[in-house]
Amino acid sequence: MFAKQNKVIDFASFSGKVPPQCIEAEEAILGGILLDPGAIARVRDELKPYHFYIGAHSSIYQAMLKLNEQEQPTDLIVIINYLEANELLASVGGRNKLASLVDRCVSAVNIDALANLVISKWKRRELGRLGNLATELQHRSDDEVSLPQAFEQLQDCIYRLQQGSNNKHTSHISDVMTDVYQKIEERHQGTALGGIPTGFYDLDAVTNGFSPGDLVIVAGRPAMGKSAFAAQIGFNVAQQNRAVALFSLEMSKSQIGMRMLAGVADIENTNLKTGRISDSQWHSIAIGTTSISNLPIYLNDCATPSLNYFEAECRKIMSMERRNLGLVIVDYLQLMGEDGNSNRNHEIAAITRGLKRLAMKLEVPVICLSQLSRAVESRQNKRPVLSDLRDSGGIEQDGDKVLMLYRDEYYSPDSPDRGICEIIIAKHRDGATGTIRLLFDSEYTKFKNLARGGW
């Protein structure tokens, strides 16, 4: 006996119902503006004519906005004259309608809250329109709209509906500079950081952390520790109670979890894989498993993800966490989009542009791992440079920060820098470049600050 999995929506039960609206709030907003013409400045950036349910209310508010743009008052007499001159007065209900709006309104003191209420009712109505759009898309052929395109179209509509205006409109430079000054003041006083700390203090000192919207490229030859380095930054960010999404195209979720446990419990990864665990180590494993389980880390090992898939999964996590993500990690770039149907350089460039857009759209730093070309191996000095980035100059172009990993002991076992990993900051769009050094513990596959522990 199987439980029923799908809930069937009875659309018939919704027929005949009035769409979500609050006419009283619409009337109070208009009446408040007629009483206090200065009140429109408090709502004009967020509240738009199309948010109103009643057509007459939308026309009246549109007239108010026009007058406000022309720096004219929006009192009763001026509004009546404007509507009459544009042959709109009769269609909105005449003088009596406008006079009644003033009579029913006491003041404009609550106009902000009322505007939010009207906007929320509009969003409810738009949900119904999304249902209509979904119905339309389901009947389109694959030649007209592919299934991924249909999902992307719905996803974009939902995102715009969720976000609203979210301050993405054009701003005057004075508003921008006010915000800039405030951020500088907060950072000077130590009440705000420039970006999200990585947990490696020397790296944070140079980069000032990873900022929302950053695309951070972590590059290196195989066996340099790229995956471990990125995963450890993710672990450190999660310990700050920031949600982290880690997409691995190379390792399974259980492999990542086992590597994290090795670092936390101080047990060699090889012993965890083979099950060679002593009685005294089980306590550390239990404590480590519990501590990791309580962190807001989400793992995904889909082998063939698309940029749309990344965004959809990130939004799903944000919905569960009820907050923005702190960090997204993609491991690694060259495993994406290999279909053999296009120029590889162009393909990689398109992917990096997409990841940069994703970082800006979700307002989260995105770390993307990348391989380096084999040209490194043919040089005497094998420290990587930007030109070693494999497959595309787009990686260098789109990355806000490019970090390259180099361990000298990999090439020279007798190197005096055994156990040292150089993090070469080859590109930093907002600051200085240079090299910082971390300890690398190969037994536990983890990185440490030179002066204090890492995980």
Within 10 angstroms of residue 253's Cβ, the number of other Cβ atoms is: 13
Condensed to tens digits (0 to 9), the pLDDT of residues 47-61 reads 999 999 999 999 999
**pLDDT over threshold 50, residue 172:** yes
The Cα 100–Cα 98 span in angstroms is 5
Provide the 3-class DSSP secondary structure of residue 427: strand
**Helix intervals (H) in 86-146:** 94-104, 111-138
Q: What share of the chain is helix, strand, coil (3-state, %, to 5)?
A: 50, 10, 35
pLDDT for the residue 252: 84
Domain pair 23-116 / 194-448, same fold: no
Listed range (77-81, 203-207, 364-368, 387-391) with the worst mean pLDDT? 387-391
Q: Establish how many alpha carbons lie within 13 A of residue 378's alpha carbon, considering only the half-sphere containing its beta carbon.
A: 5
Mean pLDDT of 186-210: 79
| All structural domains of the chain with their residue ranges | 23-116, 194-448
Per-residue pLDDT band for 128 (boundaries 50, 70, 90) equals confident
Per-residue pLDDT band for 3 (boundaries 50, 70, 90) equals very low
Concatenate the DSSP letters of all residues of 375-395 into one string.
Answer: GGGGSSS----GGGBSS-THH
Q: Establish how many alpha carbons lie within 13 A of residue 197's alpha carbon, considering only the half-sphere containing its beta carbon.
A: 12
Strand partners, 367: 216, 329
Condensed to tens digits (0 to 9), the pLDDT of residues 312-350 reads 888 888 878 878 899 999 987 777 765 555 577 777 788
* 161 token code pair: 């509906």
pLDDT for the residue 425: 93
pLDDT for the residue 188: 66
Mean pLDDT, all residues of the chain: 82
**pLDDT over threshold 50, residue 78:** yes
The Cα 391–Cα 373 span in angstroms is 8
Per-residue pLDDT band for 187 (boundaries 50, 70, 90) equals low
The helix-helix angle for 55-69 and 94-104 (nearest 10°) equals 80
Domain covering 23-116 assigned CATH 1.10.860.10 in the classification? yes
The helix-helix angle for 94-104 and 23-35 (nearest 10°) equals 90
Listed range (29-38, 186-195, 299-308) with the worst mean pLDDT? 186-195
Per-residue pLDDT band for 87 (boundaries 50, 70, 90) equals very high
**pLDDT over threshold 70, residue 2:** no
**pLDDT over threshold 70, residue 384:** yes
Amino acid (one-letter) located at 311:
E
**C-alpha distances out from residue 363 to 79, 311, 358, Å:** 41, 12, 8
* Percentage of the chain lying above the pLDDT 70 cut: 88
pLDDT for the residue 8: 44
Domain covering 194-448 assigned CATH 3.40.50.300 in the classification? yes
